[in-house]
């Protein structure tokens, strides 16, 4: 359950990390934690399925100012 004083912000596609941090600031939050998770795509190589990291998902946890 999310606290009233905390909110998560995900860096959107086509948005820079700075853009996301500016968006957080406009909503009255300051970053306290950063998460990075790889996003995998399944690909068949030589008849075997492989999971290949294709991008990363960056999320910030913000605390209300």
pLDDT surpasses 90 at 46: no
d(Cα 1, Cα 3) in Å, to the nearest integer? 7
pLDDT tens, residue by residue, 5-19? 999 999 999 999 999
Mean pLDDT within 42-58: 90
Tokens encoding 14: 């086509």
Q: Please, what is the end-to-end C-alpha distance for the chain in angstroms?
A: 20
Residue recorded with tokens 């795509």: 41
Tokens encoding 64: 């209300």
């Amino acid at each position: 359950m999310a606290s009233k004083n905390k909110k998560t912000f995900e860096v959107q596609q086509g948005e820079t990390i700075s853009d996301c941090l500016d968006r957080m600031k406009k909503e009255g939050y300051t970053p306290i934690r950063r998460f990075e998770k790889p996003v995998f795509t399944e690909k068949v190589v030589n008849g075997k399925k492989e999971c290949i990291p294709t991008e990363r998902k960056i999320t910030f946890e913000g605390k209300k100012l």
